Amino acid sequence: MPTAAAIRDFLENLLWQERFDEEHLAAGHKLKSKVRELAAERPDDDNLTLRANVAGEDCEIPMWVAGDGWQFETNCSCEFGRFCPHAAAMLTEASKPKTLSRVLEGAIVRSRQAPELAAAETLVPAPEDIPHVELVPTFHLTLVRESTDSKVIRLLLQALKMPDQGDWVVARPFAIYGEHRIPISGAPGAREFRVETKKGPLVIRRDVAAEYSAVQALQQVGLGSLSGHAEFRFLLSLAGKKGITNEGGLWFPSAVHGPIAEFWPWLRSRGREVLEAAKWTFEVARDVGYDVIDLDPDNWVFTLEDDSTGWFHLSVGIEVAGKSIDLLPILAALLDKGALEESLEFPADGHFLHYLPDGTALRLPTARVRKILKHFAALIDPRRFKGGKMPLHPLDAAALGLAEFGIEPPPRLAELAEKLNGFEGINPEPPPEGLKAELRPYQLSGFRWMQFLARHELHGILADDMGLGKTLQTITHILAEKASGRNAKRPSLVIAPTSVVPNWQAEIRKFAPELRILLLDGPERKKYFRSIPYADVVLTSFALLQRDIDKLTEHSFHLAVLDEAQNIKNPSAKVAQAACKLNARHRLCLSGTPVENHLGELWSQLKFLMPGFLGSQEDFNRRFRTPIERNGDAERQAALKKRVAPLILRRTKDQVAKELPPKTELVHMVELTSGQKDLYETIRAAMDKRVRQAIAARGFDKSQMVFLEALMKLRQICCDPRLLKLEGESKLEADLAGSGKLDYLFELLETLVEEGRRTLLFSQFTSMLQIIEDGLKLRKISYLKLTGESKNRGGLVKEFQEGDASVFLISLKAGGTGLNLVAADTVIHYDPWWNPAAEAQATDRAYRIGQDKPVFVHKLLCQGTVEERIHKLQQQKSQLANALLADADVSTRLDSNTLGALLAPME
């Protein structure tokens, strides 16, 4: 058994530090000078309690012998409570030999009591002549209801300033030694207690350390002794004069885990698991209430009903103990509380609780419920509930994954659900006869997509890039609808900007001359309104739409097409309101930029296409726009994208213009300025001489550092002579030399910015990035910079991915790997990376999975210098180049011929 002297070894050798995390240890080291009134209580060699005030916080550290060593706990008044920086500061100070000697010599010899432990009045020290025994205690907690007729409960309500609402649930903890139960009430008690047995009196020693750990478990789950409440203690002291005592050891929630109505079911579920892990047994009286019901999603009943209006109604329910529970409001509440995000309340593994108003809690498996919620995230909104049922658009119903929920899809949904997985499910019908054009493959796919939408009474946005033939694809669709008779002899209405209307007229005449065109234009147009039913295509402009809307609503159109649909991006504008009044069976928006500024523009176009599909504007802003635009909510963005994906067809030039390669590498040979050439040759000659002297003096293997230094200086001159660490006239010469590569870079960047490209610019030299940064500021080019000194690496990446910065400056060590920057379409290697693999890794920051644009890679090399020679070595001797300037041993891979080539004069 260790003696008290072992305390010195335990503290002075810092064995206690393993109980603290590194952050708290570091913070404690800073706080050690603020330790005040450090003192100890030492009843015997097996126990020691340290107390102090640290930076205004009261801290206590009980220590006791455990096996062949020491064990300890910490209590502090700070927010951490246990193993906090204040406790670390206190132990740091106590571990000083002089401080420890002073504290131990002045230790007060008194009986050590673990906090929060209690003894009944019969627990008094026993005479030494009575047999003493040591038993291993067990611990038991009972939840019971106490009537407010109890005087102690009335004192509690008075102390907590709570109303009398009937019976109250309290916890009664006990320490059990053999057949003897000791209530733990929080009042100080003796270390020994006397009991009467058939063989006479017996003294049982209490296991203070075990009881202390057990009490810590109670406090961890949020229970507190009533005796620990100052107001209650005061009232109890007054009541004690009248014979009122807290003999029963009542414990009550300490408000750590929220409202009391939620605490008790939490304790019966999650808290119970914590206590049982700490060796507590748990019992709940029958009348306690706050039941916890396991809600298995396998037993949920999903029902989909056709409401005969074109929409469907979804309901989700379950029957528990003969009572039907509507789950849709519960699922909506879970979404609002963030159940899709992992948190303490919604752990990824295990279960979570949902509390009902009647005090019952539903216990739900996180992973399975989260899977269901992901299906409903874009659909559920409490404001859309009608009698426990949720309205669903056919598109939502078809995409819901009906089979997964055990729902047999109604007949009219079966085909739609089957074909929503991509173009594979869309009928490969040929273009209509009479079309005077040969469609490119992507145009044929676009036409078939429009046919698919029309057949299933859906509406969509063709968002192809400008110049890819949105007009031709739409004309083909209009012609096919007429040829099949699906238009029921009703005309199609095309609304376009005024300047584009003539182009529509010309394109229809060119590609579908059999279509009858009615052009509504000019002051004479009114007399042609009566001819609308006899046309195949009616052409008008957005400018005239709002003027003529009353006349246009008198007619029924088979198809209404908005070309350049961003013209209705403002839903409150008269033109947008007029478009929504049109009577058309089928609707299409054509726009290369359906979202120019914000998601509200998308909502406005979807309102025209399918009113109610994205809810009201207020609901859409709350559920999608605000979380995505302001908070960067990736989950909501993915949910919105999934929801509208079948309604939007987007192709870019880069995707469909196959002649463009996916990645193009361009090597730019740059000429040094005259000042650079002079400096390069001066440094080259001096370093060449120095390297050869080093090889002659120390041998080839021991001269590598000199050689690497020579290469470094020459590379710095190529980048910008100001990188050299020179002094005096040499520094002035370097500063005035200029940089041909830097000048070339800014010319290149200005061109790229004008083209709207977004660029990653890599350099091994952070000082070079600083010089480039200064130039970008001067030219007012937006940029971000990532180096090893950057604090918010993830934030910078996110800002570039989602922001407008044209250039991202990145150093080799900070950004060579581990970044996803697919927002960029251009990569510039300012100085060559001698390891080809490292250079490829840098390029792959942009050219990787998720990149949907061709990537152009620019390599800037100074002509006739070491840069050009290394580039040739990469091509000719890749293994040598790979090891040349890697951190591995390069000496065994270099020879005198290589050295001579690299340090040769400029060509």
Tell me whether residue 118 is in a domain.
Answer: no
As to burial, measured by CB atoms within 10 angstroms (0-12 exposed, 13-18 middle, 19+ buried), residue 5 is exposed
What integer pLDDT is reported at residue 161 of this predicted model?
A: 61
Lowest mean pLDDT among 214-218, 414-418, 724-728: 414-418
Residue 81 burial by CB count (10 A; 0-12/13-18/19+): exposed, middle or buried? middle
Residue that terminates a domain, selected from 612, 640, 656: 656
Containing 143, the helix (H) or strand (E) segment is strand 138-146
Phi-psi region of 417 (alpha: psi -120 to 50; beta: other; left: phi over 0): alpha
CA angle (63, 69, 70) in 5-degree steps: 10
Judge whether residue 518 has pLDDT over 80: yes
**What is the mean pLDDT of the segment spanning 71-89?**
80
Angstrom CA distances, 22 to 84, 87, 369, stand at 11, 13, 36
- The position carrying tokens 């279509």 is 515
Write out the H or E segment, with its range, that includes residue 35: strand 35-44
pLDDT at 356: 79
Q: What is the pLDDT of residues 254-301, one digit of tens each?
A: 754 557 778 888 888 888 888 998 889 998 888 888 888 887 777 788
Sign of CA dihedral 212, 218, 222, 223: negative
Rounded CA-CA distance 189/205 in Å is 12
Given its phi and psi angles, is residue 589 left (phi above 0), alpha (psi -120 to 50 degrees) or beta? beta
Q: What is the pTM of this model?
A: 0.44
Q: Which amino acid is at 683?
A: I
Degrees (nearest 5) of the Cα angle 226, 231, 236? 65
Phi–psi pair at 678, nearest 5 degrees: -60, -45
Query: Quick one: pLDDT band at residue 763, thresholds 50, 70, 90?
Result: very high
pLDDT band at 353 (very low <50, low <70, confident <90, very high): confident
The verdict on 652 and 689 lying in the same domain is no
Element (H, E) at 208: helix 208-220
pLDDT value for 660: 40
pLDDT at position 785 over 90? yes
pLDDT over 90 (residue 538): yes
The band of 700, judged by pLDDT with boundaries at 50, 70 and 90, is confident
Whether 892 and 885 have beta carbons less than 8 Å apart is answered as: no
d(CA 246, CA 233): 10
> Does 120 score more than 50 pLDDT?
no
Predicted pLDDT of residue 661: 46
Residue type, 470: K
pLDDT of 554: 94
Separation CA 675–CA 671 (nearest Å): 11
Q: Are the C-beta atoms of residues 215 and 182 closer than 8 Å to each other?
A: no
Beta bridge partners of 808: 760, 784
Closest residue by Cα to residue 168 from 260, 83, 94, 240: 260
CATH code of 761's domain:
3.40.50.300
State whether 624 and 683 are in the same domain. no
Q: 646 and 665: one domain?
A: no
Q: With 60 as the cut, is the pLDDT of residue 552 above it?
A: yes
Q: What is the mean pLDDT of residues 505-511?
A: 92
> Distances from the Cα of 40 to the Cαs of 44, 51, 63, 206, 460, in angstroms?
12, 6, 10, 22, 77
The position carrying tokens 């058994």 is 1
Q: How confident is the model at residue 1 (pLDDT cuts 50, 70, 90)?
A: very low
Structure tokens at 624: 């999608």
In tens, the pLDDT along 467-503 reads: 578 899 999 999 999 999 989 889 999 999 886 788 7
Q: Which of 610, 626, 656 is the last residue of a domain?
A: 656
* Three-state secondary-structure class, residue 45: coil
User: Does 124 fall in a domain?
Assistant: no
Cα-only R_g, the chain: 39
DSSP 456: T
From 656, 687, 712, the end of a domain falls on: 656
DSSP state of 468: S
Distance CA 745, CA 275 (A): 66
Residue with tokens 């920057």: 821
Number of structural domains in the chain: 5
Cα dist from 238 to 63, 156, 243, 247, whole Å: 35, 13, 10, 15
Per-residue pLDDT tens digits for 582-635: 999 999 999 877 776 678 888 999 999 988 788 888 888 888 888 887 887 877
Look up the CATH number of the domain holding residue 637: 3.40.50.10810
Residues 401 and 472 grouped into a single domain: no
Whether 317 and 392 share a structural domain: yes
Question: How many helices, marked H, and strands, marked E, lie in the chain?
Answer: 34, 34
Task: Reply yes or no on whether the pLDDT at 61 is more than 70.
Answer: yes
Say whether pLDDT at 779 is over 80. yes
**Quick one: pLDDT at residue 822?**
79
- Does some domain include residue 431? no
Q: Which residues fall within 8 angstroms of residue 849, CB to CB, at 6 or more apart?
A: none
Q: Is residue 147 part of a domain?
A: yes
CA atoms within 13 A on the CB side of 237: 9
The pLDDT value recorded for residue 388 is 59
Those residues with Cβ within 8 angstroms of residue 400's Cβ, 6 or more apart along the chain or in another chain: 314, 375, 379, 392, 407
pLDDT of residue 585: 92
Cα–Cα nearest to 137, from 173, 187, 186, 185: 173
What secondary structure letter does DSSP report for 126?
P
Contact between 668 and 744 (Cβ < 8 Å): yes
Query: What's the pLDDT at 714?
Result: 92
pLDDT score recorded for residue 218: 86
Domain membership of residue 694 (yes or no) is yes
Lowest mean pLDDT among 51-60, 117-126, 783-792: 117-126
Residue 59 belongs to domain with CATH number: 3.30.160
Q: Would you state the torsion angle of the CA atoms of residues 556, 562, 568, 574, taken in this order, to the nearest 10 degrees?
A: -40
Residues 572, 446: one domain?
Answer: yes
Q: How confident is the model at residue 389 (pLDDT cuts 50, 70, 90)?
A: low
Dig out the tokens for 322 from the structure. 């003969």
Percent of the chain predicted with pLDDT > 90: 22
Name which residue leads in pLDDT, 83 or 531.
531
Is 111 part of any domain?
Answer: no
pLDDT at 390 over 50: yes
CA distances from 528 to 295, 525, 836, 842 (A): 66, 5, 70, 63
> Do 275 and 139 share a structural domain?
yes
CB 834, CB 708: distance < 8 Å:
no
Poorest-pLDDT segment among 24-33, 378-387, 591-600, 836-845 = 378-387
828 and 858 in contact (C-beta within 8 Å)?
A: yes
| Contacts with 623 (C-beta within 8 Å, 6 or more apart), sequence order | 378, 381, 615, 636
3-state secondary structure of 550: helix
**Residue 489, C-beta contacts closer than 8 angstroms, at least 6 positions apart:** none
Least confident range of 571-585, 612-626, 829-843, 852-866: 829-843
Domain shared by 269 and 178, yes or no: yes
Cα–Cα distance, 106 to 161 (Å, whole number): 43
Name every residue whose Cβ is closer than 8 Å to that of residue 233 and which is 6 or more positions away in sequence: 227
Residues 668 and 690 in one domain: yes
Dist CA 172 CA 453 (whole Å): 66
| Mean pLDDT, residues 408-413 | 70
* Same domain (yes/no): 199, 306: no
Query: Does residue 123 sit within a domain?
Result: no
Q: Are residues 635 and 732 both part of a single domain?
A: no
Within-domain flag for 401: yes
| Predicted local distance difference test score (pLDDT) of residue 395 | 72
CA distance 313 to 305: 5
pLDDT tens, residue by residue, 144-161: 887 655 666 666 666 666
pLDDT of residue 2: 45
Q: Which of 179, 366, 196, 337 is nearest to 270 (CA)?
A: 366
The answer to whether residues 717 and 676 touch, using CB atoms and an 8 Å cutoff, is yes
C-alpha span between 739 and 723 (Å, rounded):
11
Buried b (16+ CB within 10 A) or exposed e, 691-707: bbebbeeeebeebbebb
What pLDDT was estimated at residue 119?
36
The CA-based angle 637-643-644, given to 5 degrees, is 95
Both 305 and 277 in a single domain? no
User: Domain range holding 814?
Assistant: 661-907
Answer yes or no: are the C-beta atoms of 829 and 860 closer than 8 Å. Answer: yes
DSSP letter string, 620-684: HIIIIIHHHHTT--HHHHHHHHHHHGGGEE---HHHH-TTS-SEEEEEEEEPPPHHHHHHHHHHH
How many residues appear in the chain? 907
- The pLDDT assigned to 319 comes to 77
pLDDT, greater one: 44 or 232: 44
